[in-house]
A and B are shown apart, each in its own frame.
Chain A
């Protein structure tokens, strides 16, 4: 089987990439579930599409917009299709119940597998292993898709967005939420979610806290929570046992890159995803990546926007239209944890948008992009680690760069 562009993953990233690529090339979209949309169908809360549609849509509504377009396009959609292997020569081995084993030779590949949740083991919570410990995303699927309740008396560990949204969801289902416990000194999710999902419902948020034990044989019977010190170690004597039947873990998301690694792309330790250029092309020519596979986004709108770039240039690659210039590295400077793209190669778009996260909260700062001197500056009223920052830089400012590009968040501006 042959195609110009093979897109792996039918979530928001894959849908946008496939649609954009199909304007110029033959596209195959591979999705392991039996329907498209990725995680969106289980996100029945609103808040999607604010930037792209200027409307607050629900996850299914947002997904349906793109699914409808895919249906009308000539994209070859293969659902229930799991990719088993990607080789460096861009051959994909996949399986599904109707075709058996598929071998797809693609000219370009877009990796759009999304992310997965960190599990209990990654944060090493001691205790027994009863039923009733779920990640927030699993709980979301259980309630919203499968129609079953994971518990009725809930403790949530972690204040990432999925955890916050699930706190509210549990309340709406008539369950009790004992509290949301966060090991950091600041909440992990968007401010709007802290307000709309916890404060509006009177759910307590306990910062600098963690779960230190899980008790129960058949089902969770109780968890122990404790305060933590500055090095995030539990403080002796602050333990409290909270009777509950369910522990929900919202302790972070990890880009799902097993296939990317198999394909031999170079990874960025900080993002957990492949390093990409401004076209979202990885270190392997013709293999592109977009969405949460590259780094975990706050908003689906951003996923859609970068994925369109990935789709467009994957199609261009497949049809032989990409020209590459000198490779310019983008390095992180003051108060920047990571930045995507990690390097520039062509600078042939109108703008290059840099997505990055800060290390520490700060107010009234400047985002400065510089070579040896600043070439671009942007004011930000407030920056926080959980909220992604963007800087869209006109390409004409970037042309002619010879050395590394550096991005800093510092300095104060006058209000």
Chain B
């Protein structure tokens, strides 16, 4: 009864917003707090603004925005295969950091677990383009699930990084107020400066105290002493010493490998095309490779989570991708700053999402990310405007930084929902279907806590869970030549002389490491897969030197011809054929 009261209240608010924003005539349905929108609308802009406004309604649990607008694209459905390829207690959909975290946590228990990922490797979607920040939670909206899981997840990183032997550094972070922090408001500058210097930092500190995040106030002089390249416009800073950085794909690969060692089956190149539901319960997952029978599906499909939910008839949100672009600089200037840093600006400007000047665990500095709504869930292109925007937005903090030393830029997409919070709960409609959706930043930091939460949900949903006696939390660390001292280098070379042959000169990656990656628990079978594991090609020359060499090693180790080596996904061939192939008469290739 109470619930429907709530529904009608939400409905009224939705209708009010629709009237105000020109969405007259659209169909509104509210069920269990979830808002369903149907009908036609003028543009994508309206689709987004209506969705966002409705998402902000208090107690609205989710927005399923099915509004049609001119030019809206529908994705083609792929065909599944009918033969049974397996059965599992739990099927996890999605091989990003969330799916792999859940897989690894679930592998503590005596269960048959299958993780399916549509890509050729784990960590190829949203996870790949993450900037590696292990946020403390201070930047998140108070009281959100995001914030709760971020604070918890952050605290779990000390242990999990040790167990999985992944790089994790508490590099610390400056949250800086400047003379421009309040420039948007038309208040006299002495007052604006006073607020930025004296008031804002204390608000942040109080928040931190509430959340148990250690932080302290740093005066301008001290900030400039510790960070000589920071802008003179800095007024004060809050220092957050536990702010961390990791490598998002190495973390995900490590989670996946450890899950495999503990019995999880990871099926890559396997796309879910349908979910069979009988009598309101999950029965099986149909994929491009065949059918997997199961009673529990964990939907960690990121950008495609709403489509997966739809297949089960459990759509309770709509994903609207938000692109973020990042610039990466040469390691040579990695010591330009000593901690990550971010300038506060009120209100937040449209195209910047927090972000700032960030360190990476590999010693680079990165600027970004930006925010831009995009219609295409695969659009990871970086535009000229985005690059300009990053230069304009971030050159401010360290004005004398040699910004011409960009070595790479990339864009990723955030899987945002209109309620802009994590959506982690069992489906209200289909038994056995668990949503783990809307995971945008700080999803990386929150990932370990998200996994814990999902375990509890599955327990409550009736999945019998008995802890394994022989669970092994530790993953063996692969050899990373450049990190070793000379004595250690000598030792490993005695075992395998391939560790003595440098293939990637910029990042000092050896042939031994590349061969290891190709034969790892998740074999690295593309150039990009090798790159993510070893850093070959990630340095200042961006593979100009090592690409032919790595390709040849990959061909040799896998027994495929050189001209069949791929960059990443299927058919992304590096070469079009053998030399002279274009001259052969009658060769259409």
Contact = CB atoms under 8 A, between A and B. Distances in A.
Interface of A: 32, 80, 82, 84, 93, 95-101, 103, 116-117, 119-122, 124, 126-132, 134-135, 137-138, 141-152, 173-175, 212-213, 215, 217-219, 234, 245-246, 258, 261
Interface residues of B, number: 58
A218 B571 contact: yes
A213 B547 CA distance: 23
A258 B508 CA distance: 12
B582 interface: yes
B552 A174 contact: no
A80 B503 CA distance: 10
Contacts, number: 154
Nearest to B386: A126
Interface in B328-386: 328, 332, 378, 380-384, 386
Contact of B578 (A116, A138, A147): A147
Nearest to B510: A95
Interface string B417-437: 000000000000000000000
Tell me the dominant secondary structure on chain A's binding face: mixed
B548 A122 contact: no
Contacts of B378: 217
B378 to A, nearest CB: 7
Contacts of B577: 148-149
Given A100-B490, A116-B545, A137-B544, A122 B404 contact: yes
B407 A119 contact: yes
A97 B578 contact: no
A37 to B, nearest CB: 15
Interface stretch (B43-51, B393-401, B516-524, B560-568): B560-568
B583 A148 contact: no
Contacts of A147: 562, 578-579
A119 B548 CA distance: 16
Contacts of B541: 116-117, 119
A184 to B, nearest CB: 17
A132 B571 CA distance: 12
A88 B563 CA distance: 44
Contact of B573 (A99, A116, A119, A219): A219
B583 A101 contact: no
B497 A98 contact: yes
B502 to A, nearest CB: 4
Given A32-B502, A82-B505, A101-B493, A121 B407 contact: yes
B387 A126 contact: yes
A141 B551 CA distance: 13
Contacts of B380: 128-129
Contact of A148 (B384, B508, B578): B578
B575 A174 contact: no
22 contacts: A32-B502, A95-B500, A103-B486, A116-B540, A121-B409, A126-B381, A127-B381, A129-B380, A130-B567, A131-B568, A131-B574, A134-B544, A138-B545, A138-B548, A145-B548, A148-B562, A148-B574, A148-B577, A174-B581, A217-B569, A219-B571, A261-B332
A119 B493 CA distance: 32
B575 A84 contact: no
Contacts of A150: 574-576
Nearest to B577: A149
B542 interface: yes
Contact of A101 (B384, B486, B543): B486
Interface in B510-565: 540-545, 547-548, 551-552, 562-563
A146 B552 contact: yes
Contacts of A84: 508
Given A97-B497, A131-B573, 7 more contacts: A80-B501, A98-B500, A119-B541, A121-B407, A130-B567, A215-B381, A218-B571
B381 A142 contact: no
Name the residue among B382, B543, B566 with the largest chain A CB count within 10 angstroms: B382
B583 A174 contact: yes
B410 interface: yes
B498 interface: yes
Contacts of B3: none
A222 to B, nearest CB: 12
A122 B579 CA distance: 29
A217 to B, nearest CB: 7
B408 interface: yes
Contacts of A129: 380, 410
